[in-house]
Amino acid sequence: MNDYLRIPGLIDIHVHLRDPGQTDKEDFNTGTAAALKGGITTIFDMPNNLEPVFSVEKLSEKSKIVSNKALCDYGFFFGSDGENLAEFEKAAGKTIGLKLYLSDTTGKYTVTDESQIYKIFKKWTKKKPVVVHAENEKVGLAIKIAYDCGNILHITHITGENELAQIMDAKKMGMKISSDATPHHLFLSLEDKERLGKYAEVKPPLVSKRNQAYLWNHISDIDCIASDHAPHMKKEKESEISYYGMPGLETMLPLLITAFHDGKLTFEDIIRMTSHNPSKIFNLKRDDSSYAEINSEEEYLIENETLFTKCKWSPFAGWYVKGKIKRVFLRGTRVYEDGKILVRPGFGKNIK
């Protein structure tokens, strides 16, 4: 029964589903289940698996492993350490973009040599975005190189003026450039660190209230919201080693609807940032048959116990949100309703 407000199914352009390699943290089944529960009908999975997706062979292997597990639609990013340029041409056809780490991140994937970055940008197709993790001055570097080489550039998980001001300038110059911010940077700040302890550890780190206010004040200049869903097990987060990242698929849309009630953004902003722009930037074909039905007035408590993500914790546990996802449709099929997934693993398709 057609009784709810509907918004286009969300496209989350930045998630880490850990499959294969770290399926103790998450796998493609639990991760895509969490996506659907969160109103997300398409996810883009990052290449930094335990064995990173730097070759077409690894990509095919991953594709084979996850295809029988996927519940929502998905696309893959290709990765690069600068040593795999020969793979680019083949990989481009099978992926939605290239993911590049210019700033420090988990693992050994950061590319720091400028001439190597040039080679990567030059070699990658000019028809699909290069998504970069770039903080502060690295944003300027990415812009300079993408401008010189003619790439489509997307700066992921920006955290404030340092990044956005440079992106805005490049936009004014006519560059094909876009950005996203994460729910944890928009809804958590340094003030939450005491409460969350090591659970607050994430890259880029949580920001000050002042920086966070900057993001909200410039929400109309930010192109996308992406979860950067990066689950780690509780025992990992609580250990002495730092495991950076937090889950976010299930909580992103309820948090955004709550922000709508608080007057921080409009429904049109939500749609623009979670489906219109992602599909425009990544050149996706879309129809009208993938959508989420919500009760925008229903309040509920976020609880670890009811999460679908394998890691079973959320930095937002204990928060009341206003905006409940009731049903989700993917390509015309009812795939989620009232806490239950209604399709079998494998229903989700690779969009490329």
- How near is the Cβ of 11 to its own copies at its closest, in Å? 10
CA dihedral 164→132→232→325, nearest 10 degrees, is 60
Q: Which stretch binds its own copies (CB under 8 A): 57-65, 102-110, 207-215, 281-289?
A: 281-289
User: Which is closer to its own copies, CB of 27 or CB of 293?
Assistant: 293
Q: Which stretch binds its own copies (CB under 8 A): 19-27, 221-229, 266-274, 335-343?
A: 266-274
User: Which is closer to its own copies, CB of 122 or CB of 276?
Assistant: 276
Residue 113 sits in the site that holds its own copies (CB under 8 A): no
Residue 296 sits in the site that holds its own copies (CB under 8 A): yes
- One-character DSSP codes across 32-62: HHHHHHTTEEEEEE-S-SSS---SHHHHHHH
Q: Which stretch binds its own copies (CB under 8 A): 1-9, 80-88, 135-143, 152-160?
A: 1-9
- How near is the Cβ of 332 to its own copies at its closest, in Å? 9
Tokens representing residue 107 in the block: 């693992």
| Interacting positions 308-337 with its own copies (CB under 8 A) | 329
* Residues binding its own copies: number (CB under 8 A): 26
Strand order in the sheet with 10-15: 10-15, 40-45, 73-79, 97-101, 130-133, 153-155, 177-181, 224-225
Residue 239 sits in the site that holds its own copies (CB under 8 A): no
In sign, the C-alpha dihedral spanning 240, 244, 247, 253 is positive
What contacts 114, CB < 8 A, 6 or more positions away?
141, 145
Q: Which stretch binds its own copies (CB under 8 A): 155-163, 207-215, 241-249, 290-298?
A: 290-298
Residue 168 sits in the site that holds its own copies (CB under 8 A): no
Rg (Cα) of the chain, in Å, rounded?
Answer: 19
